[in-house]
Amino acid sequence: MSLFASVGRGTIQRAEYIGGLTIQFYRGVAAAWRANPLTGSRLRWASTIQHMAVVGVNALPVVCLIAACTGLIMALQGGAELRQLGAIQLVINLVAVSMTRELGPLITAIVVVGRSGSAFSAEIGTMVVTEEVDALRSMALDPIEFLLVPKYIAMLLMLPCLTIAANTAGILAGGIYIYFTLDMGFALYIRAMLEALLLRDIVSGLIKSIAFGTIIVHVGCYEGFHVTGGPVGVGR
């Protein structure tokens, strides 16, 4: 009986979590639309710009460094295997398409969720523990619009920019390996890379970055809004 109870309890908890996250998502989208300057100009610009700096500008060196290392390692390992097949030139396609379509958005999301996702949870969780969120409600201010929307808009604007920077860093790092291995001119490498890439590769990567950003913001803020247990709960 305890086994069935634990399975049922876990299922109910997960259903409640997914349901609460879905409701918060729709409330966040609606609040972001209301905060649109074209429809009401209720956006907290100072907070949004501050979050844009934290999410985007401050994360740029780390994102570029990790992406460059990834592109270099991919070119190194892929080149070692493709050299045996006499197709070393395909390393350009491997690096360009993989970074743009898959690894660029993924690397960016991993860095941002470690830096900003946890920071969002800690910030809102601390406000919940100190009853600042209750104070916002008592002043007829929606915590979703006041706290979540600036983070959401900042993430939607900056994560695609970070993804483009990660793609560029990874492709350039792969080009360094190609330059010294194949003695290929950098202009020729860029030309081959542009021929290998399609517009849908770039667009799909940017769409993934927006999806990752949405998940990071809403999961981080949801965890913050539902903190229990005082300061210890914030750390968890």
For residue range 79-131, what is the model confidence (pLDDT) as tens digits? 777 777 777 677 888 888 889 998 999 999 999 998 888 888 888 888 888 88
For residue 13, being part of any structural domain is answered with no
Structural domain includes residue 208: yes
Q: Please list, residue by residue across 203-222, b when 16 or more beta carbons sit within 10 angstroms of its beta carbon and e when fewer do.
A: eebbebbbebbbbbbbbbbb
Q: Residue 173's closest CA among 106, 61, 75, 63?
A: 75
Q: 69 lies in a domain?
A: yes
- Per the listing, tokens 């009853």 go with 131
Query: Residue 75's pLDDT is what?
Result: 85
Domain span holding position 62 = 45-235
Which bin fits 228, alpha (ψ -120 to 50), beta or left (φ > 0)?
A: beta
Would you say residue 17 lies in a domain? no
Q: So what's the pLDDT on residue 32?
A: 80
Distance of CA 188 to the CA centre of its chain: 32
Distance, CA of 54 to CA of 36 (rounded, Å)? 21
For tokens 């998940």, what's the residue?
215
Q: If DSSP codes are grouped into helix, strand and coil, which group holds residue 131?
A: coil
Pick from 167, 165, 64, 60: nearest CA to 116: 60
DSSP summary character for residue 122: H
What count of Cα atoms within 13 Å lies in the side-chain half-sphere of residue 131? 2
- Residue 205 and residue 102: Cα distance in Å, rounded? 6
- Give the model's pLDDT for residue 40: 54
Token code pair at residue 191:
């030309």
Number of domains in the chain: 1
Sign of the torsion angle spanned by Cα atoms 114, 115, 118, 121: negative
Is residue 109, in this structure, part of any structural domain at all?
A: yes
| Predicted pLDDT at 165 | 94
Output the pLDDT for position 186. 79
Q: Other C-beta atoms within 10 Å of 49: how many?
A: 12
pLDDT per residue as tens, the chain (236 positions): 577 777 778 788 888 888 888 888 898 888 887 776 555 556 677 888 888 888 888 999 999 999 999 999 888 888 777 777 777 677 888 888 889 998 999 999 999 998 888 888 888 888 888 888 888 888 878 888 888 888 999 999 999 999 999 999 999 998 888 888 777 777 888 888 888 888 898 999 999 999 999 999 999 899 888 887 666 666 66
Residue 8 C-alpha from the chain's centroid: 33
Question: Measured between alpha carbons, how far is 130 from 125 in angstroms, rounded to an integer?
Answer: 9
In a domain, 230, yes or no: yes
Answer whether residue 83 is part of any domain: yes
Residue 1 lies in a domain: no
Distance, in Å, from the CA atom of 231 to the CA atom of 74, rounded to the nearest integer, reads 43
